[in-house]
Chains A and B, each alone.
Chain A
């Protein structure tokens, strides 16, 4: 290698020679650890999920194991009302969560982007729940929704709601209760990302708009929002995928109940594989979840024309 370089351009300045003397294998060596880890623990599991989806595979009923063709998939679409229920609930959960988180996060980011006394403290406090885990969020809201000593009891003292029932065990209140708990932790994510992006809006634009007599609402609509667009598209997408997949909060807060009222598709899959040990069917469900997720992401990116203007 070094010899070839020396023969090719002997009079080249030392800088060139050094650069070209880098072994061609170096980049491959550098990505090798990451690539191997991802092949072994992401790619291989994904492939095996696709494979098991075509199998009857249940460690507790080994006599039925074997190739199943598309039986699992046929069962999902024709004979499994729970699949449709959980899919619909997942969609509802993701849309409501991401929509509310974005609106509140955007509003908060705009507020803490202003100059005011106590801004640093305000930011720190607004962002603080972001770092809290799903399980800890559940623990906190279990304490808050507890019927004997939770906030609800004190609200009942004031005549709001009634004593004795936890909001988490009532089918009519469990959805908003879980939504609020997850909002509490999710809003800061958007606030942080949007605030970071707000810092890069050129102040000249606002000054020019000011000179032209544009109102603050107009400035927001014509300057701020277009600037934030890519960040918003990307963060809503990442968040939607994350909200769809994340089971920590619902698993620990409601366990999918009461009466399966808050079971998302991934939670249903986890139950199918962990409790029922029906790995084949769970794998087929996972495959469907992948496809749904990928399809929705593509449609979303296409509709939002992500990165359209910059390229």
Chain B
């Protein structure tokens, strides 16, 4: 092997070589980057990214009090404890309910609004678009007091409904803008062709447009789910009843205890991460397309 690579130094074969690999020139403009310039910074950054993940796994899996840097022997005591004693089982159920309900409401409402924005010209359209954009600057955190009062007035404090509504409302504007961009990318003529074939608007939308929106809807729906799953402040403010709380609030309770049970905290954190990891593993391939289709270029 080695000798073979060493010998072509002989001029004859080298002279022949440069002629045929013309297409290699195209590739070279991308391949030119020396490998170490890719792998070195990437590895350094991955250390920064992965050590924290390893750290929480370590704490969750090794026995309490251990200072070993390898989680061995593995124990699941922390998970059991946090799931039953610290009520993470209940929190998990609540979080799933909030996440799924937010996902469904956001997607359905944004789909209807997004369709109107993409396909119709109507009087208040410009104003409505402007309102959507402006609402991006309205921080949910700063509206806690009036929102609390509203939910108190309609008797929804301590009901998961309040969190679902609040999460949906703050997800809506961006979701609607994204979805209307996705719909704009579907040629109107496709829909019109379906009308000619005798479909009404609703059916044409369902049969022709909806299947093409799948990647976009999956992206928007997953964002809605993950955001509401992760979001903390609304649940903290609107849900006082322990059996109504969500996972992030549970984590905060664990953290703000006088002496933090690190093992339980780590196990709780992993429980909080699992659904998100699953969702993202599932949507990974749609993520970039979904983004480039609508998010940035508008």
Mark A residues whose CB is within 8 Å of B. Answer: 14-15, 18-19, 22, 24, 26-28, 30-31, 33-35, 37-38, 40-46, 48-49, 52, 104, 107-108, 111-112, 114-116, 122, 124-129, 131-136, 138-144, 146, 149, 151, 154, 184, 192-193, 195-197, 199-200, 203, 206-207, 210, 216, 230-231, 234-235, 238, 241, 244-248, 251-252, 255, 266, 269-270, 273-274, 279, 282-283, 286, 289-290, 293-294, 297
Question: Total number of A-B contacts with CB less than 8 angstroms?
Answer: 268
**12 more A-B contacts (CB under 8 A) besides A41-B165, A184-B52, A248-B248?**
A26-B116, A114-B33, A135-B232, A144-B55, A149-B262, A196-B288, A216-B33, A235-B296, A255-B256, A273-B144, A283-B145, A294-B137
Q: Can you list 22 pairs linking A and B with CB atoms under 8 Å apart?
A: A15-B195, A31-B112, A45-B147, A46-B143, A49-B143, A49-B145, A125-B50, A126-B46, A132-B276, A133-B272, A139-B254, A139-B269, A140-B56, A241-B139, A245-B142, A248-B231, A251-B232, A252-B256, A274-B237, A286-B143, A290-B138, A290-B142
Interface of A is mostly: helix
Interface of B is mostly: helix
Cβ of A134: which chain B residues have Cβ within 8 Å of it? 230, 232, 248
Judge whether B265 and A142 touch: CB under 8 Å. Answer: yes
Judge whether B230 and A133 touch: CB under 8 Å. Answer: yes
Q: Provide the bound-state CA to CA distance between A161 and B170, in Å.
A: 43
Number of interface residues of B (CB under 8 A): 97
Cβ of A129: which chain B residues have Cβ within 8 Å of it? 49, 52-53
Whether A40 touches B150, Cβ cut-off 8 Å, given contacts A34-B113, A238-B136, is yes
Cβ of A294: which chain B residues have Cβ within 8 Å of it? 137
Q: Provide the bound-state CA to CA distance between A146 and B260, in Å.
A: 10
Judge whether A133 and B248 touch: CB under 8 Å. Answer: yes
Q: Provide the bound-state CA to CA distance between A145 and B254, in Å.
A: 16
Judge whether B52 and A141 touch: CB under 8 Å. Answer: yes
Cβ of B181: which chain A residues have Cβ within 8 Å of it? none
A24, A30, A273, A282: most-surrounded residue (chain B CB, <10 A): A30
**Contact check: which of A33, A192, A248 meets B232 at CB < 8 Å?**
A248
Query: Which residue of the partner chain A has the closest CB to B279?
Result: A131
Interface residues in B99-138 by Cβ distance below 8 A to A read 109-110, 112-113, 115-117, 119-120, 122, 125, 128, 131, 135-138
